[in-house]
A and B are shown apart, each in its own frame.
Chain A
Amino acid sequence: MIEIFGIPMQALLGQLLIGLINGAFYAMLSLGLAVIFGLLNIINFTHGAQYMMGAFAAWLLLDRLGVGYWWSLAIAPVAVGAFGVVVERTMLARLYKLDHLYGLLLTFGLALVIQGLFQNEYGSSGLPYRLPSEFAGAFDLGFMMLPRYRAWVVVASVVVCAATWYVIERTKLGSYLRAATENPALVQSFGVNVPRMVTLTYGFGVGLAALAGVMAAPIYQVNPLMGANLIIVVFAVVVIGGMGSIAGSIVTGFGLGVIEGLTKVFYPEASNTVIFVIMVIVLLVKPAGLFGRER
């Protein structure tokens, strides 16, 4: 058996894969946060709860209505995104003129309400989500077995992130979005309906979180608190990457997932804290974040 630094190759690759999968979720969630922050200047604390809602939507669709994974991938993000639109219209829209911290406080409170309601209804233990049968089994790569579903998660999240990047950085719609991030009043004066764009952007970011939740459902247990702890790690990811760049948040998400996976191999005690330690180092060296701009 091949060993690297005294660690069996298989263990190393296994953790690397787990890291890549965690990284896929970090990337999708931090991407959503970055898109929302860019236009709304709000850090969406509800993001973790909305990710959890996506997973629960998939679970409920399968358990109550017999709707399978593929439909859930489409229905859950739209449903949770629509919920996000309602939240934006009824609550967040009232806060844009105030200090941005009120947005953080509001979304924090909302996250507590959502998590509490789900805990009351479904308890705190995890509910299993059956893996779709298409994904049973694994690819034999010769040096390791790669479960099909995990391969799918990595590929799908790369595609989703790349598509989001393309839309924002390379299309006309994206150029409006970027312009509105820089100067909303000016874009409005050109006849673009900025408030509607803000609403839809929030809905999109929330939908992205829900999509990540659906994809997470077969891997992790569906649990009311699944987003609560994750979101804090994602905040650290966002601080490390800086929120100035869409590509930056994607790269940072995947990169930190992999680093976390490797830490599990070489120094397991630190695997929970490594991302926070990196955050501290980045703050000392480059306070604006790796890809960020001081604003």
Chain B
Amino acid sequence: MVAPDPATPGPAALEPPAGGAPPAADPPSRAFAIATAAMVVALVAAPHVGVYPVFLMKALCFALFACAFNLLVGYVGLLSFGHAMFFGTAGYVSAYAAKVWGLSPELAILAGTVASTLLGLVSGVLAIRRQGIYFAMITLAIAQMMFFFYLQAPFTGGEDGIQSVPRGRLLGVVDLANPLAMYYVVLAIFVAGFLAIRRIIHSPFGQVLKAIRENEPRAVSLGYDADRYKLVAFVLSAALSGVAGATKAIVFQLASLTDVQWQMSGEVVLMTLLGGMGTIFGPVVGAFTIISLEHYLADRGQWVTVITGAIFVVCVLAFRRGIVGEIAAAWAKRGR
């Protein structure tokens, strides 16, 4: 872990992004607090106004996954195309821990998170050796290697996956078979992860990450070890993706190949892009949008793939700031 040096503030004058990544729209603390409170209230109330808890839990797991992914792409500028490996690995390990070892859900999720953190460390050391497009291709290739590993490994159940994983009792007390209890646990995990990411971004460490994103040579010339910062960010992102994947495995009582496939890596990219890369709420909005879309198009065959792809194309061509980014930009214009 790189201890952020409090005596060294992040470089104040960042260069505007060179026509590339849209400027991060970070709400000031008060606006953030209000928006977060509103989001939490809405999520606490949602199952009581008729929203299906399983749907909400799925969306929350993906929202946390997308937030974790956004930490890397939005604030360090590293586009990983293999994040499904962390999501899926944690899912497999926590499902195995809960089912075969009989661990309680919190320990199972912890085990999954540890596994994805270690995988993040190993793959991160390799991937940060290259940048940009190569970084994307390398992460994709490593994730594909992990996919084939899980396809063949005896403990994953191959095409069937690990099924009927017990949800168990949280801390030996709360029975998670109750959907509402499970939902509030997922919500708590999501909010904790979300706030942790916000904290990371606003720490001196996060400022250095942004400096590296904007101008790596300059950050290096200021004495920051860019590779170490990138690696720590990569591992943090992998760990939080792992929390999301492990939670999803416990919620759905299933760990399967779907969660380690490259399509899943693409999906989290899409959620973040659609919601707004480098915005704190963007990935949440993106995840809820995409999961709803899939929910309503579930019986329309491959039209989901077509529409997903079309959203990608439209976002890249016309809508690069994403939903939240565009709203923030419009807001800033209005206030000027």
A117 contacts partner chain B, Cβ-Cβ < 8 Å: yes
Q: Which residues of B contact A7 (CB under 8 A)?
A: none
Closest chain B residue, CB of each to CB of A90: B317
In contact, A113 and B306 (Cβ under 8 angstroms): yes
In contact, A119 and B302 (Cβ under 8 angstroms): yes
Q: Which residues of A contact B20 (CB under 8 A)?
A: 98-99, 102
In contact, A117 and B316 (Cβ under 8 angstroms): no
B309 contacts partner chain A, Cβ-Cβ < 8 Å: yes
In contact, A94 and B302 (Cβ under 8 angstroms): no
Counting residue pairs across A and B whose Cβ atoms lie within 8 Å, the total is 133
A273 contacts partner chain B, Cβ-Cβ < 8 Å: yes
Chain B residue total in the interface (Cβ 8 A) = 45
A43 contacts partner chain B, Cβ-Cβ < 8 Å: yes
One digit per residue, 1 when the CB lies within 8 angstroms of any chain A CB and 0 when it does not, for chain B 297-325 equals 00001111111111111011100100000
Q: Which residues of A contact B304 (CB under 8 A)?
A: 116
In contact, A283 and B309 (Cβ under 8 angstroms): no
Among B307, B308, B316, which residue has its beta carbon within 8 angstroms of that of A105? B316
Q: A109-B312, A269-B152 are in contact. Are A235 and B141 (CB under 8 A)?
A: yes
A144 contacts partner chain B, Cβ-Cβ < 8 Å: no
One digit per residue, 1 when the CB lies within 8 angstroms of any chain B CB and 0 when it does not, for chain A 76-109 equals 0000000000000001001101111110111011
Q: Which residues of A contact B141 (CB under 8 A)?
A: 232, 235-236, 239, 276, 279
Closest chain A residue, CB of each to CB of B17: A99
Among B126, B133, B144, which residue has its beta carbon within 8 angstroms of that of A104? B133
B202 contacts partner chain A, Cβ-Cβ < 8 Å: no
Q: How far is the CB of B70 from chain A (nearest CB, A)?
A: 14
A112 contacts partner chain B, Cβ-Cβ < 8 Å: yes
A284 contacts partner chain B, Cβ-Cβ < 8 Å: yes
Closest chain B residue, CB of each to CB of A124: B302
One digit per residue, 1 when the CB lies within 8 angstroms of any chain B CB and 0 when it does not, for chain A 31-51 equals 000000100010100000000
Q: Which residues of B contact A111 (CB under 8 A)?
A: 309
Q: A109-B310, A109-B313 are in contact. Are A238 and B137 (CB under 8 A)?
A: yes
Kindly state the separation between the CA atoms of A97 and B310 in the bound complex, as whole angstroms.
Answer: 22
* A→B interface (CB under 8 Å): 37, 41, 43, 91, 94-95, 97-102, 104-106, 108-117, 119-120, 228, 232-233, 235-236, 238-239, 269, 272-273, 276-277, 279-280, 283-284, 287
A109-B311, A119-B301, A273-B145 given; 12 more Cβ-contact pairs under 8 Å: A94-B317, A97-B19, A99-B21, A100-B133, A102-B320, A105-B315, A112-B266, A233-B144, A236-B141, A276-B145, A277-B145, A280-B142
Q: List the 5 shortest-distance A-B pairs measured between CB atoms, nearest first.
A: A109-B312, A112-B309, A116-B305, A99-B20, A116-B306
* B→A interface (CB under 8 Å): 19-21, 79, 81, 126, 129-130, 132-134, 136-138, 140-142, 144-145, 148-149, 151-152, 262, 266, 269-270, 273, 301-313, 315-317, 320
